[in-house]
Structure 1
Amino acid sequence: MSSFDPITMATQLATYDIQAFQQRYQIQSDKYQGQLEALGKVESALRDFRTAVNAMNSSSSNIIKNSATVSQDGYFSANANASAMTGSYQIFVEQIATAHQLSTGMPADLDPSTEIPTTGTLEFTVDGQTMTLDLSTVDTDADGKATISDLVSAINNDPDNPGVNATLVRSNGQTHFMLSSEETGVANQINVTASGTGATWFEDAFTNTTDISVAKDAVIWLGAEGTGLKLENSSNTFTGVIDGVDLTVSNAQTSGEAPITLKIGPDDEATKEQINNFIDAYNTLATTLSDFTNIGGEDSARGVLANDPTLRSIDSQLTSLIRGEYDGLSLNDVGITINREGKMELDAAKFSDAQNNNSAALEAMFNGDGNLLDSIDTMAEPFLMSNSGLFSNRKDTLQQNISRIDDKQVGLERKYDMSYDRYLKQFTQMNILMTQMNQTMSMFGQS
């Protein structure tokens, strides 16, 4: 009677006891994990589509793009948004805005380590805002002394600073204490006084200042110099002077020169680029939805989210929005259609015709309040909310299912260990008995 290996027998039987459960749990886990990954990809595609939509539906960017061109470079640039009206304008740049910059009348032997008074105040006023610097606070190391370098840091880092930058500038072997306004324009001129310091040289330095750059407002004429509409601005950027157009001046013209022509018109290529971005983002989402909701057939596998209610809801709502009418106009009317594969296509000629002949309606269809792009954003919101969105809830449920299966797997491991110990004990005893029987039989000459 031959012996056997109890460990091998115990391993085989204990494995057999849990094998069916292991296979079932693994199938379930793979299914939930596949659904979880698929939901993540669909969520990402929907989020990307929504991001693309919102990038075309903001205060600074619309579907319709306009261009601004100037007849002469070097004096101003212009940017036209979707609301800008087509037209030609004459602009004369009389003066650009500059920031106030002054040098204080500090001693000629000034250097960063020059000591300053530690009593009294420095008061700065810019555009109606005032900062009062207590000079006793400039001494940060409590050694009873403060330097001009400490003063620079104290001014620049004061939380009440109204827009003044202090700096030390070295020129021709001398160090100069300078103050500069952070903003351009007459209103941002720097006014500074020192008082109560007991140091005449220090207080005189802030009385006897020299302007390095005078604060000026930008001045332009909408039309010819002297006869057009005069416009002034503290900044070099004029916003909304012409509806939908921002002008940024960079250099002044010489008096008597002719104004520069600014032309505003539609930018066909930029608008088509916007449309193509919209189409590409939609098609990426449509492909992702199709891949995971495919019901399967002879030539294709069933999608891991076939008949999933969340994806069905997205597809249904999105289809309704894309095929809808907005202010009496639909995507199909302007050359944007859905083909048999569910992909969006552009008829460039039809879209160009709509852009040239009915641009206001085209823009309103996409960007009007509550119209296409707004509606897409509203539709996507409940799905994409970070904590309580439908995707978040679905993924949480699937993750909980996976966790429960993991717990069951742990239970199977305990069951395996218990079965293994029981089988090992039984087969070890059986092996001992067989060994004893073999020894007994050998005493009678049997083998």
Structure 2
Amino acid sequence: MTSVGSSIGSSLGIGSGIDTGALVSNLVSAVRDPKQKVITDRQSLNSARISALGSASSSLDTFADALNSLLAGTGYSGTPLSNDPSIASVSLLPGGEITGLPAQLRVQQLASAQTLASTPVSGATASSTVGLGTLTLKVGTGADVPIEITSANNSYTGLAKAINDANAGVTATVITDNQGTRLVIKGATGEANNFTLTNATGDADLAKFAWDGTDSGTMKKLATAQDSIIQLDGVEQRYSSNTIDTAIPNMRIDLNKAAPGTDVSLTKSEPTTSMRDLMVEFVNAYNTLMKGLNTASAAGADSSTSGVLAGDPAVRDMKRQLSQMTSAGMATTGAYKTLSEIGVSTNRDGTLKLDTALLDKAIAANPTAITQMLNPAVSKATNPGLAGLMDGVRDRIQVKDGSLASAQAKYAKLGESLTEQLEKLDTQMANYQTQLTAVYSKMESRLTAMKATQSYLEQQIAAWNSSSDS
């Protein structure tokens, strides 16, 4: 679409011969371009700073998360082993170190659940009636639970649902096969979870589903509720489940079959990765992070040679927090308490240096103390371990009102301000173009009038000259 200024300039140019549209455009550009460049240059720098801070924070997260994941693996903690998983399998529980191994386990008896079943009724279906009235369900030493059957739920399905809806710890199902239809009721494993289903006010049909501890012609016990029985290093222990989490600290034992007279050896594999490997990986990853921060905050002779975050207080604080890790206390007891004591020092540029000879000497002298300091079984404030120490640094750097959050908020606000400045400049230049167009339109009108007058005078003078010659 042709602009107003161009249209006016084109039409008026017929009279004056001056391209006022181009003149106005050039004048506006001469005013706009320097101001616009200042704003867009600041926008580019601000965007680069926002991106660099986001990248630094993301790199910090990646480093800390990777360290946590690394130390959580069995490579640094070892893994529990069973020499016969078909009898008992073992696994590591989170939050602590396995103690008490090796141990000898003997599975005398598996835990089981009580199961009752009614006599199959040939020709019956799940919707067949079962009788009316109330049965009483009692699990262990718990309270009596009424199971009511009315005309609304008088069926095998209704009876099973009433038992399940009682939430007493037993599960009822209806089975229909070639023998007919029957009700099966199963409790939870463990001797304490035995149950009875006695007749309270049921009619003769419903009473057939009652069981008070003695089998009848219509209701029988198919399995008995019993505890698992194990011997651990000769000491008998009983549990209501076949999954045992408390016999050995921080280790789960899954009992798979009873094997009286057979001992299962429970042991723990040694860590496949050493604390020396850990420190080498840590220093390398730390230095990658620090070099990135150094590049982003490098000072230069001018903006073209300095980093986008040169002089930024958030980066200075991040580097300061990281640099304190070598001297931070990681334990209150033991032979070693800081990274600097096992060969980690700081270079002038903030990167770390690992004295492997000093580290090897420390590991040889007291490997347990090194492990306890770097990767404790349970991390706590006074003994955070390497992952906990890194998490603490990250939390302080990324705290809600910290320097990083403040810098990010500052740059975000500046970005909004620069956008508003650019929009304001667009409005100002549009107004300026309108003003110039008006001025040059008036000028063009005057020039056209003057040109017409000039033409008239030239014609008159020519006529006068012609008259005098004759």
Per the alignment, in what secondary structure is the counterpart of residue 407 of structure 1? helix
Contact preservation (8 Å) 2:80, 2:269: yes
Q: Residues 86 and 92 of structure 1: is their aligned pair in 2 closer, same or farther, counting only changes over 3 Å?
A: closer
Question: How far off is 1:2 after superposition?
Answer: 4.2
CA separation in 2, counterparts of 1:394 and 1:12? 40
2:128 corresponds in structure 1 to 114
2:232 to 222, 225, 242: 222
- Alignment deviations for residues 36-58 of structure 1 (CA, whole Å, 9 cap, x no partner): 1222122222223333455578x
Q: Residues 219 and 316 of structure 1: is their aligned pair in 2 closer, same or farther, counting only changes over 3 Å?
A: same
Please tell me whether residue 71 in structure 1 is matched to residue 83 in structure 2.
yes
Partner amino acid, structure 2, of 1:425: A
Question: How far off is 1:343 after superposition?
Answer: 5.2
2:102 to 88, 91, 112: 88
Please tell me whether residue 316 in structure 1 is matched to residue 320 in structure 2.
yes
Question: How far off is 1:106 after superposition?
Answer: 6.8
Per the alignment, in what secondary structure is the counterpart of residue 311 of structure 2? coil
CA separation in 2, counterparts of 1:176 and 1:283? 70
CA separation in 2, counterparts of 1:118 and 1:400? 74
2:429 to 406, 416, 420: 416
Per the alignment, in what secondary structure is the counterpart of residue 410 of structure 1? helix
Partner amino acid, structure 2, of 1:360: T
Partner amino acid, structure 2, of 1:320: Q
Please tell me whether residue 405 in structure 1 is matched to residue 418 in structure 2.
yes
Per the alignment, in what secondary structure is the counterpart of residue 34 of structure 1? helix
Question: How far off is 1:348 after superposition?
Answer: 7.8
Partner amino acid, structure 2, of 1:331: L
Question: How far off is 1:361 after superposition?
Answer: 1.1
2:368 corresponds in structure 1 to 360
Contact preservation (8 Å) 2:116, 2:220: yes
Tell me which of the two structures has the higher relative contact order, counting C-alpha pairs closer than 8 angstroms and 6 or more residues apart: 1
CA separation in 2, counterparts of 1:244 and 1:3? 95
CA separation in 2, counterparts of 1:272 and 1:111? 69
Partner amino acid, structure 1, of 2:79: S
Contact preservation (8 Å) 2:131, 2:205: no
Question: How far off is 1:65 after superposition?
Answer: 0.8
Query: Identity of paired residues, percent?
Result: 22
Alignment of 1:375-394 (within 5 A): 375-385=389-399, 387-394=400-407
- Alignment deviations for residues 193-217 of structure 1 (CA, whole Å, 9 cap, x no partner): 5644x54323432435444443332
Contact preservation (8 Å) 1:94, 1:221: yes
Please tell me whether residue 184 in structure 1 is matched to residue 189 in structure 2.
yes
Q: How many residues are aligned here?
A: 426
Please tell me whether residue 202 in structure 1 is matched to residue 206 in structure 2.
yes
1:16 corresponds in structure 2 to 30
1:396 to 401, 409, 413: 409
Q: Residues 268 and 341 of structure 1: is their aligned pair in 2 closer, same or farther, counting only changes over 3 Å?
A: farther
**Tell me, which stretches of 5 or more residues in structure 1 are unaligned?**
none
- Alignment deviations for residues 343-375 of structure 1 (CA, whole Å, 9 cap, x no partner): 557788976775676343123312353234444
Alignment of 1:22-421 (within 5 A): 22-55=36-69, 64-79=76-91, 83-85=97-99, 87-105=101-119, 107-115=121-129, 120=134, 123=137, 125=139, 128=142, 144=152, 148-149=156-157, 152=160, 156=164, 158=165, 161-172=167-178, 174-181=180-187, 183-193=188-198, 195-196=200-201, 198-207=202-211, 209-223=219-233, 228-253=234-259, 255-257=260-262, 259-269=263-273, 278=282, 282-296=286-300, 301-324=305-328, 326=330, 327=333, 328-329=335-336, 330-331=338-339, 333-334=341-342, 358-366=366-374, 367=376, 369=380, 370-371=382-383, 372-373=385-386, 374-385=388-399, 387-421=400-434
TM-score (norm 2): 0.74
Contact preservation (8 Å) 1:354, 1:362: yes
Contact preservation (8 Å) 2:86, 2:256: yes
CA separation in 1, counterparts of 2:402 and 2:244? 42
Q: Residues 256 and 444 of structure 1: is their aligned pair in 2 closer, same or farther, counting only changes over 3 Å?
A: same
**Structure (1 or 2) with the larger CA radius of gyration:** 2
**Tell me, which stretches of 5 or more residues in structure 2 are unaligned?**
1-14, 212-217, 460-470
CA separation in 2, counterparts of 1:107 and 1:431? 111
Q: Residues 418 and 331 of structure 1: is their aligned pair in 2 closer, same or farther, counting only changes over 3 Å?
A: same
Partner amino acid, structure 2, of 1:75: I
Contact preservation (8 Å) 1:336, 1:344: yes
CA separation in 1, counterparts of 2:83 and 2:357? 30
2:446 corresponds in structure 1 to 433
Question: How far off is 1:93 after superposition?
Answer: 1.6
Per the alignment, in what secondary structure is the counterpart of residue 261 of structure 1? strand
Question: How far off is 1:68 after superposition?
Answer: 2.6
> What RMSD, in angstroms, separates the aligned Cα atoms of the two structures?
4.0
CA separation in 2, counterparts of 1:127 and 1:343? 66
Q: Residues 221 and 340 of structure 1: is their aligned pair in 2 closer, same or farther, counting only changes over 3 Å?
A: farther
